[in-house]
Amino acid sequence: MRRGFIAGLAAALLALQTAASGAQEPSREGSVQAKASVAKVLVDAHVLAPGGGVLLGLTPDDFLLRVGGEEVRVEEVEFIPADRSELPPKAPGDVVEPGTPEFPEGRLIVLFFQADFGRYRTKGLMRMANEMVLFLDRLLPTDRVAVLSYDSHLKLRLDFTNDRAAIHRALFDTLKIGGAPEPAPSSPFPSLGVHFDVDAARKAHNVERGLLVTAKALQKIPGGKTMLFLGWGLRVDRVPTDWKWHALAVSALQEARVNVFTLDVSDADWHTLETELMHLADTTGGTYAKTHVFSAQALDLAFRAIEGRYVIVFARPDRPPGRHAIELTLRTKKGRVLARPFYDDP
């Protein structure tokens, strides 16, 4: 079945990452792993209809894929609704292989707040924290939300949970500058805290390193994820090492299958750091939006975009190792495809 193929491929890719890091993933009785070749590339894509929201009913023939400017056939497409797991339901007689990774039942949403001492940015963060509270009612019972903040270093404020009261508290904890207690993992699975490198988080002296630490922890959890980055800029110090950490963070986010939607909290019609926020969204398959005027609308567009996603698979072209540009669009239907513009061939 198609859905089994997609889940099996995702599990195989995760197994490669796990083998490379020497870690072991939890397994769950009842999960299924299909046999799949790792000579495939998997891309998570949100496809938006002209009026916003998810464009439904797309097949492989609806997508036009180019790799390095050359057209490549899309082999498999699977739509994953917001309340579903990537893993197909267990059928009678299915055999569960030991060590098969389990997949979250619904969406994993990471809220990443970039705090600041400045009055104008703090005002924007407070405004967005209040707006986010209103959007908690749009969460589904299967959604799991984690909350992180970055000021002088990275802090995990809340592990993945569907406890709305806890999420509400964590939203406003992000406005506090200073130390933060280390939250205990909310549950055996999925848990960001289990894989969160506390020492690396304390040593994250720029926001790019904070994103890198977060992405490395997310790599241990199978399936696609969504990050809402509520902040004001990247590469703030404009030093050469910022490029290094930024590139490492983008690569790690790709491996973790994270689409980043950046919400600019600056109280300004334009500022010099906004292009970096746009770039982060573009390279991870998300969107960029300003929040200083229509903050509720910016959040609404992001929430509508993540109501479902497509998992797209194509055969890895015979190309030399390295990073290869991909362009994913629609052939005839009108809509916007949000997907990362590259893949890495080790």
CATH of the domain at 202: 3.40.50.410
What's the pLDDT score for residue 36?
39
- Beta carbons of 260 and 234 less than 8 angstroms apart: no
Which among 163, 134, 267, 260 is positioned nearest to 207, based on CA atoms? Answer: 260
Q: 178 — alpha (psi -120 to 50), left (phi > 0) or beta?
A: left
What's the pLDDT score for residue 243?
87
In this structure, which amino acid lies at residue 315? A
- Beta carbons of 11 and 222 less than 8 angstroms apart: yes
- Beta carbons of 42 and 21 less than 8 angstroms apart: no
**In this structure, are 286 and 165 located in the same domain?**
yes
- Beta carbons of 114 and 124 less than 8 angstroms apart: no
Quick check: 218 pLDDT over 50?
yes
Fill in the DSSP letter of residue 101. Answer: B
**In this structure, are 193 and 245 located in the same domain?**
yes
Greater confidence, 136 or 16? 136
Rounded Cα distance between 95 and 247, Å, is: 40
What's the pLDDT score for residue 5?
67
- Burial of residue 234 (number of CB atoms within 10 Å: 0-12, 13-18, 19+): buried
Pairing relation of β-strands 70-72 and 63-67?
Answer: antiparallel
Q: What confidence tier does 121 reach under pLDDT thresholds 50, 70, 90?
A: low
**In this structure, are 12 and 118 located in the same domain?**
no
The tens digit of pLDDT for each residue in 131-188 reads 888 889 999 999 999 999 998 899 999 999 999 999 999 998 888 766 666 666 666 7
Indicate yes or no: pTM above 0.85.
yes
Highest-pLDDT range among 21-35, 57-71, 98-112 = 57-71
Rounded Cα distance between 44 and 22, Å, is: 25
- Beta carbons of 138 and 106 less than 8 angstroms apart: no
Quick check: 255 pLDDT over 50?
yes
Instruction: Report angle CA 288, 325, 235 to the nearest 5 degrees.
Output: 45
Greater confidence, 115 or 163? 163
Q: Which of 290, 305, 320 is the last residue of a domain?
A: 305
What's the pLDDT score for residue 90?
66
Range with the lowest mean pLDDT among 5-19, 29-43, 51-65, 272-286?
Answer: 29-43
Average pLDDT over residues 56-64: 97
Average pLDDT over residues 276-300: 92
Greater confidence, 115 or 71? 71
Greater confidence, 195 or 268? 195
What's the pLDDT score for residue 60?
97
What's the pLDDT score for residue 33?
32
Which among 227, 215, 191 is positioned nearest to 46, based on CA atoms? Answer: 227
Q: What confidence tier does 26 reach under pLDDT thresholds 50, 70, 90?
A: very low
Quick check: 68 pLDDT over 50?
yes
Range with the lowest mean pLDDT among 56-60, 172-176, 273-277?
Answer: 172-176
**In this structure, are 319 and 258 located in the same domain?**
no
What's the pLDDT score for residue 28?
38
What's the pLDDT score for residue 87?
78
Both tokens of 193, joined, read 């805290």
What's the pLDDT score for residue 295?
85
Q: What confidence tier does 211 reach under pLDDT thresholds 50, 70, 90?
A: very high
**In this structure, are 223 and 330 located in the same domain?**
no
| E strand or H helix that includes residue 346 | none
Quick check: 313 pLDDT over 70?
yes
**In this structure, are 87 and 205 located in the same domain?**
no
Quick check: 235 pLDDT over 50?
yes
Sheet with 108-114, side-by-side order of all strands:
154-161, 144-150, 108-114, 225-231, 258-264, 288-290
Q: Give me the percent of the chain exceeding a pLDDT of 90.
A: 61
**In this structure, are 128 and 33 located in the same domain?**
no
**In this structure, are 139 and 233 located in the same domain?**
yes
**In this structure, are 162 and 176 located in the same domain?**
yes
**In this structure, are 199 and 242 located in the same domain?**
yes
Query: What is the Cα gyration radius of the chain?
Result: 19
Fill in the DSSP letter of residue 171. Answer: H
Quick check: 311 pLDDT over 60?
yes
Fill in the DSSP letter of residue 52. Answer: S
Greater confidence, 337 or 187? 337
Q: Give me the percent of the chain exceeding a pLDDT of 70.
A: 81
Number of domains making up the chain: 2
**In this structure, are 67 and 115 located in the same domain?**
no
**In this structure, are 249 and 112 located in the same domain?**
yes
Average pLDDT, the chain: 85
What's the pLDDT score for residue 35?
33
Average pLDDT over residues 79-104: 76
Range of the domain at 316: 2-103+307-345
Range with the lowest mean pLDDT among 77-86, 134-143, 268-277?
Answer: 268-277
